[in-house]
Amino acid sequence: MLVRVLALRQQLAVYKRKAKRPRLRNLDRLFWSLLSRIWRPAIPREHIAFIRRISSDHPEYGEDRIALELEIKFGIRHSPTTIRKYMVKRRPDPRDPQAWRTFPRNQAEGIWTCDFFVQHTIRFHAFYVLVVMELASRKIVCLNVTAHPTLEWTKQQIRNASFEEQPKFLLHDNDGKFGQFGRPVQVERAGKQVSCRSALDVWLWRVMGIRGIPTPHGAPNAAAHIERAIGTLRRECLDHMLIWNERHLKQALAEFIAWYNGGRVHQGLNGIPDPDPVLAEPKPVSGRLVAIPVLNGLHHDYRLVA
């Protein structure tokens, strides 16, 4: 009762002010902030205990699922907003896809991402293909093939790719080819220390000034963009041909990547990574459709010419 009286007196004091639209002062805001902690509509303590137990046991459950769980199994109805208020708060896990997605979205302009995949020839010789992609534009900035993917070879490919411009971050997985450490080490450069989990990251930071970012453990979707690019290389190129040798593999990939970067429309990008300058010229008012074959007609680069 005393709390209710205090609240009513505060409301009356604000109302009596002569201003047409009363403005809350800092003291008023402080009063209501403190009062809201002890005087607000609350659900039964038993329900709060249920919510906290479920959200503690299953951090992956959202408020909607917990609300449905309570309604169907216990006959308890609360809005998802109320459920969220009483859920156990937890610090974001770096493996959490929701937390991870904010990093590439906010830093996309300065991120390159890379990965290896294996391609077999008709004689079952295995070749390793390194793909390096610029995240913001989806442009493949480096693609090369080797039968022996050593750490030194990988470093040289990154050095060649970043000859004219280099990224701020290089995103990669935890493959042993990158020289993974058992535990992170602190590496200093120009008075700044960073944590490195692989020999590649140490070299990137000390020599190139690039921050190597391994994907979080247990987060298979953390490198979704480069995985999608590699999937496209397989589905739209390599799955349709028999590879004879390393030279044949390089030739096929080079022709496909030229079209991938300069003429292939990317739905996720709503455009072309590095479009052919001809595409920037004014389009003819009337013209005919020309299909330029790619990989002997496996794909076509469609253009409109006068």
Q: What is the pLDDT of residue 260?
A: 94
Length of the chain: 306
2 in a domain, yes or no?
Answer: yes
Same domain? For 212 and 127 the reply is yes
Given 90, 122, 148, which residue is the final one in a domain? 90
Same domain? For 133 and 182 the reply is yes
Same domain? For 16 and 85 the reply is no
Same domain? For 80 and 122 the reply is no
Q: What is the pLDDT of residue 93?
A: 58
Whole-prediction pTM: 0.68
Same domain? For 47 and 138 the reply is no
Q: Per-residue pLDDT tens, the chain, 306 aa: give them.
A: 676 767 777 777 766 665 566 677 788 777 777 776 666 657 888 888 888 888 888 877 888 888 888 887 888 888 888 888 888 887 655 555 556 677 777 888 899 999 999 999 999 999 999 999 999 999 999 999 999 999 999 999 999 999 888 999 999 998 888 998 878 899 988 888 888 999 999 999 999 999 999 988 777 678 889 999 999 999 999 999 999 999 999 999 999 999 999 988 888 778 889 888 888 888 777 778 888 999 999 989 888 887
Same domain? For 145 and 135 the reply is yes
Given 90, 120, 153, which residue is the final one in a domain? 90
Q: How many domains does the chain divide into?
A: 3
Taken in order 218, 222, 223, 227, the sign of the CA dihedral is: positive
Same domain? For 243 and 256 the reply is yes
Show the tokens assigned to 46: 């038993």
Q: What is the pLDDT of residue 91?
A: 66
CATH value at residue 244: 3.30.420.10
Same domain? For 134 and 221 the reply is yes
Query: Kind and range of the H or E element at 189?
Result: strand 180-189
Q: How far is CA 268 from its chain centroid?
A: 13
Q: Domain span at residue 29?
A: 1-40
Same domain? For 23 and 116 the reply is no
294 in a domain, yes or no?
Answer: no
Same domain? For 237 and 106 the reply is yes
Same domain? For 137 and 57 the reply is no
CA distances from 292 to 155, 162, 278, 289, 301 (A): 36, 31, 14, 10, 5
Contact between residue 77 and residue 71 where contact means Cβ atoms under 8 Å apart: yes
299 in a domain, yes or no?
Answer: no
124 in a domain, yes or no?
Answer: yes
Same domain? For 80 and 3 the reply is no
Contact between residue 16 and residue 10 where contact means Cβ atoms under 8 Å apart: no
Pairing of strands 169-172, 111-120: parallel
Contacts of 249 (CB under 8 A, 6+ apart): 119, 121, 127, 129, 145, 243
